[in-house]
Amino acid sequence: MTESITFDRSDFQSDQEVRWCPGCGDYTILASVQNFLADLGVEREKHVFISGIGCAARFPYYMNTYGMHSIHGRAPAIATGVAVARPDLDVWVITGDGDGLSIGGNHLIHALRRNVNLNILLFNNRIYGLTKGQYSPTSELGKVTKSTPMGSVDQPFNPLSVALGAEASFVARTHDLDRKHMMETFRAAHAHRGASFVEIYQNCNVFNDGQFDDVTKKQVRDEMMIDLVHGEPILFGAEKQRGVMMATDGHLKLVDVADVGLDRILVHDQYHPYPSLAFALSRLNTDDHSPTPFGVFREALRPEFGSLVGDQVVQASDKKGPGDLGALIRSNGTWTVD
């Protein structure tokens, strides 16, 4: 009988000094990941953390696992190689709203559409923190920063909408003020076979402090946070007196349950085969001062990229089958250099 392995958070803490600004939301995310991995009970050698550039990208230094601090925006591409070559490993991508949605946007959407078996955690603080406070792809219209002194005129990305548009098979949102919710979300992402995308609302207390206070602060959560639970009506409010309803034209709107009746409230279906409903939920909040959904928006079951590639390699390598890898290598398009 194999003896079970138990860990605690300290097993996943490296010997490196954690160097983020005091009060940064990254500290809570780091602790939540370490606690979650300890509870998971999987050996440290089975985890790989790969990051790009930005404040969040220091993450691999602080994890007592395998990892790599890669180059700007390229973490999904590097992680794809690891996941395909070593399907036995749990591969995590740590990125930010700038690293993942600006220079790395192309790599991100292709990793999602291919359904590579990755767990992608996108820290969204809606600002460039490492380079000292410029606006990012998720900064709101009118945002005044060092690089937009008259206010941003760029239409911001909605990270969840981007992920759903790329046909991501798992999409979720959590925030840095609730360790329990983060750990539950990370657990669900890890359990999913394929590309998991988790947006984390993360406070940058130096360059964009309080960006999400109107939604995530404890005293307003009941009225502002909409918890998505599969199979249950989408309700919120201290007395669950408000809910989400689909209007006759197909869009979602917030209503008082007493006005429409409980039977008109939308029941959440995270396993719906089409992303349309999850996309509508991702667009429900109009700004950072309106009720906002959290939890798993979508979980679709479809083949994972690495397994499909592995099957092709086996097929091509089997000379009794339809493919011959050696013949392919020596086919037209090759030449000998004297």
Amino acid at site 178: D
On whether residue 205 sits in a domain, the answer given is yes
Three-state SS at 171: strand
On whether residue 337 sits in a domain, the answer given is no
What are the pLDDT digits (tens) for 88-101? Answer: 999 999 999 999 99
Measured between its terminal Cα atoms, the distance across the chain in Å is 59
On whether residue 258 sits in a domain, the answer given is no
On whether residue 327 sits in a domain, the answer given is no
- Using the predicted structure, report yes or no on whether residue 6 has a pLDDT greater than 80: yes
On whether residue 200 sits in a domain, the answer given is yes
Between CA 254 and CA 236 the distance in angstroms is 10
Three-state SS at 322: coil
**138: CATH:** 3.40.50.970
Q: Find the domain containing 284 and state its range.
A: 9-231+267-305
Q: The tokens of 105 are what?
A: 């946007």
On whether residue 314 sits in a domain, the answer given is no
Tell whether pTM > 0.75: yes
On whether residue 318 sits in a domain, the answer given is no
Is-contact 125 211, C-beta < 8 A? Answer: yes
Other C-beta atoms lying within 10 Å of the C-beta of residue 68: 14
Alpha helix ranges (H) inside the chain: 26-40, 75-85, 97-98, 105-114, 159-165, 179-191, 213-216, 221-224, 257-260, 276-282, 305-317, 325-329
What are the pLDDT digits (tens) for 160-170? Answer: 999 999 999 99
pLDDT band at 329 (very low <50, low <70, confident <90, very high): confident
pLDDT band at 330 (very low <50, low <70, confident <90, very high): confident
Say if strands 196-201 and 225-228 run parallel, antiparallel, or are unpaired: unpaired
Residue 198: its H or E element: strand 196-201
Mean pLDDT within 284-310: 94
Is-contact 264 187, C-beta < 8 A? Answer: no
On whether residue 57 sits in a domain, the answer given is yes
Say if strands 242-246 and 252-256 run parallel, antiparallel, or are unpaired: antiparallel
Cα–Cα nearest to 56, from 122, 101, 119, 142:
122
Residue-level pLDDT at 319: 57
Mean pLDDT within 290-304: 96
Three-point CA angle 171, 206, 62, nearest 5°: 60
Residue-level pLDDT at 1: 44
Contacts for 7 with CB less than 8 Å, ≥ 6 apart: 37, 38, 41, 44
Residue-level pLDDT at 288: 85
| Number of separate domains in the chain | 1
